[in-house]
Structure 1
């Protein structure tokens, strides 16, 4: 068996990486009867790895996706490792540790068990600094758990993370309007996206999210145009309610640009007068803004509920839209 961890690192290895991949493909053919080849790594990076040479995915028989641990599962791992190390947990620790897990779980390349180990190391170090001579050194109290802001300061991922202690009410309201812009556009256009939930949270990477699943079929030209509008609807909502949009809209805009480019350059789709990606983006922006203005009062009402902590399923959201639109 040949196990290659972080196989995606070969993607950035330039000529050396290409040579290794070509050698691997040859080996996968020559030794398919007597050798098992396993390529492992983070999901998004592995997708890129599979795209660099068509010979690789065609020779991989099985693909397994291991989901991140859920918060409760991480908490159980935390308890198991603390018990094994001889520590006892005081009241209040679980809630604080759980909050840390919930905050950092959404980060790309979240370390799962490794993150738990790193957190425990920080906790033990902080415990020692607090009271080194205490005879009950084995007890971990709530004050021994580092603050999220402290963990952000020592974060080595290079990602820009939100500090929950610095999130303002205005930021939460802007987030609510932004996410509702996406949600109301999905509701209005009824595209190949099926909305599952909309919520506001104090997460590491985002303050809110609209989760959805894509319906399994090819999209028409109109549906792709609607998806561009859906991607832009968050920033359009910010402009309607605040008069501007912030830099948090960048990923939405990038997705909209990618779809518009694919429509023109890859799929050969274009209406008369809409022959450039910029044309599609402008038209989608106009459509999204029109939808936001149509449901403006409804969005304001639902935003009040989101700010209070309510989460909406797709069905609940549709019911609220009908309720406030009547």
Structure 2
């Protein structure tokens, strides 16, 4: 190998293993390769040795998870604080808001989500009404399905269905869009040109979600109740007119208001988490996939946690 100029250590190790226990003589002129050969042939070095991996015990892993959770909460709080400050500035000077992008996000995150949310709400409304009617029929109280399912739908089921479906659909979309922009260094280019990425990429998405989700939840209420009406008419002989009359008499408007109060908070949490995870993407496609998955999981978790928080608050206030 007198003419050899470059070689990799793995090639020399492969050569050594291939001609083991055989007489051989390797001739090289390059001093760097000579040094590499001497290192490979050094009998004091065990090339098959792998250092033991330190495995974390249960408490160490638990500590890591707690630290990650605290860091995520701090990051979310910082993101939320920046959103509130920038929103107040926009209220003072509305020209700072990108209305074209704002309308596009309303279409993508709101209008395009209506069909899948409505279909899901209709099917769940049918299932709930069917199960409820079969259980109440055992007690001869089938007529109470109107107020039971109506209150349940307006307060909990419809807002949760809409928020969870939108979280799975829009949070992942926001993360992927911003993550790809970070991978292609578009966000760095925006900073170089003097643009503020938060104003261009985050604010329109969050405001669009805050305004869209109440409308989506209202449609979800209507579609879910319509599915329940169909079940009641076919299984319980409760006509549409009778259902609507009892619904109007027995269900107070406060139950509808409770569901609508949650909507803007659900929309803000979904959009903030989606955008935050998008900015957390590092320079790899694997990171983009991981952050997209994490954003969906986090958004759904916080929607359910917020719903539980509101349920406790409304119970204390007796609303």
Q: TM-score range by the shorter chain?
A: under 0.3
TM-score calculated relative to the size of structure 2: 0.27
Q: Which has the higher strand share?
A: 1
Relative contact order (alpha carbons < 8 A, sep ≥ 6): 1 or 2 greater? 2
